[in-house]
Structure 1
Amino acid sequence: MPADRASAAAHIARVQGRGVALEAEFAYAASKRVLTVGYRLHNLGDGPLAVFDRGDRHAVATGRQKAGAIAAPTVQTESGDVSLSHAAPPLPRPAPTLPPTPLAIRVPAGAETAGRFEFAIPGADAPKRLRWCLGVATFEDGDFIAPESVGEVEIWRASFAVAERQQLVCTPWFDIAANAFAGQ
């Protein structure tokens, strides 16, 4: 494989979960400390999936999130590692007056969805490793209400029950010094 193709392959991770396949491409700009993630999720199952990359209803209602757009991921840091996540959060305790109701898109069986986002890594120190996780769940009609079309995207409000049964599909760690996913 030519060097430029090998380099590009080092930036692409392919992972599988129960009934899903995720392909994610990372581009990290060290000078700006910005990670760009492009992804494609394939529904390999027999039924529709909910994909939790659209944030929450409270953020949309308050103008912090544009309806239908991919939300900013949540971030966790530990010992120089940064883990980003798009997932349905559990209901906070105590429950706020306006809870952050998870938003999802519905991906039919055999279909796929794609997205792209940029994220500025917080903190003063550059991360050692990065990874990204995407929450998905079986789309069960009783857990999703109030579909809203935003352009070509249909957004559903999810019950907080899906937070407990979603699966997180995570990329391997992306090593900043090697500029590649672990094991590649």
Structure 2
Amino acid sequence: MKASFDYSPSERLLKVAYRIENASDGPVAVFDRGDRHAVLSRQHAAGAVPAPFFAVDEEGGVTLSHEALPLPTPAPTSPPTPLAAKVAPGASIEGSFEFALPMSLEGDRLRWCVGVAPFTEADFSAGEKVAGVDLWRASFAVVESQQRLCTAWFDLERGAFTESTP
């Protein structure tokens, strides 16, 4: 995974552009396309990369993420079925998103993580080409099998990636 971060301190706006290459022998699913409920409710367009989720760790590090989430309990009438881009062996996918850091967020370092999993016919359905993306609905079973790919930590003050994690 290759990613570039462009942070504007005055606007507290982070712009992320990335490319994920599939170097494996089989297709992979990249969970950077949100969920079916958000598309149906027009919170974002099918095939587009939505705003990421975020969490702050004990050391003040902020992790932005796009990944398949578990089915909420109790299950809603219209569940947030994970959407994934299918990436063939040797192929890659590119994406970008913006994230406005809330004023209440005081972290000094940030990273982005994305969920990926092997693409298996049993776990994916209703594939369609949308905006140049091979978009598929995932079963909630993939939540357990996905792996997180993460960037290095990005120092917001320096505007650069750090070599190691604290």
Please, what TM-score do these two structures have when normalized by structure 1?
A: 0.84
Matched with 1:27 is 6
The residue type paired with residue 100 of structure 2 is A
Aligned residues: 163
Alignment equivalent of 1:154, drawn from 128, 131, 134: 134
Matched with 2:155 is 175
2:54 paired with 1:54 = no
2:3·2:17 contact (CA, 8 Å) conserved in 1? yes
Matched with 2:44 is 65
Give 1:148 deviation, angstroms. 2.1
Give 1:126 deviation, angstroms. 4.5
Pairing 1:78-97 to 2, within 5 Å after superposition: 78=57, 79-97=59-77
2:101 paired with 1:121 = yes
Pairing 1:30-49 to 2, within 5 Å after superposition: 30-49=9-28
Call closer, same or farther: CA 1:118–1:74 in 2, change over 3 Å: same
Give 1:90 deviation, angstroms. 1.0
2:62·2:107 contact (CA, 8 Å) conserved in 1? yes
List runs of 5+ in structure 1 lacking aligned partners: 1-21
Matched with 2:145 is 165
Q: Which moved more, 1:102-111 or 1:150-159?
A: 150-159
2:87·2:134 contact (CA, 8 Å) conserved in 1? no
Give 1:151 deviation, angstroms. 2.8
Matched with 2:110 is 130
The residue type paired with residue 50 of structure 2 is A
1:25·1:39 contact (CA, 8 Å) conserved in 2? yes
What is the rounded CA distance, in whole Å, between the counterparts of 1:153 and 1:90 in structure 2?
Answer: 23
Please, what TM-score do these two structures have when normalized by structure 2?
A: 0.93
1:88·1:163 contact (CA, 8 Å) conserved in 2? yes
Give 1:88 deviation, angstroms. 0.4
Give 1:168 deviation, angstroms. 0.2
What is the rounded CA distance, in whole Å, between the counterparts of 2:94 and 2:129 in structure 1?
Answer: 17
SS in 2 for 1:168: strand
Identity among equivalent pairs (%): 55
What is the rounded CA distance, in whole Å, between the counterparts of 2:105 and 2:80 in structure 1?
Answer: 30
Runs (4 or more) in structure 1 with deviation over 6 Å come to none
1:33·1:126 contact (CA, 8 Å) conserved in 2? no
What is the rounded CA distance, in whole Å, between the counterparts of 2:2 and 2:139 in structure 1?
Answer: 27
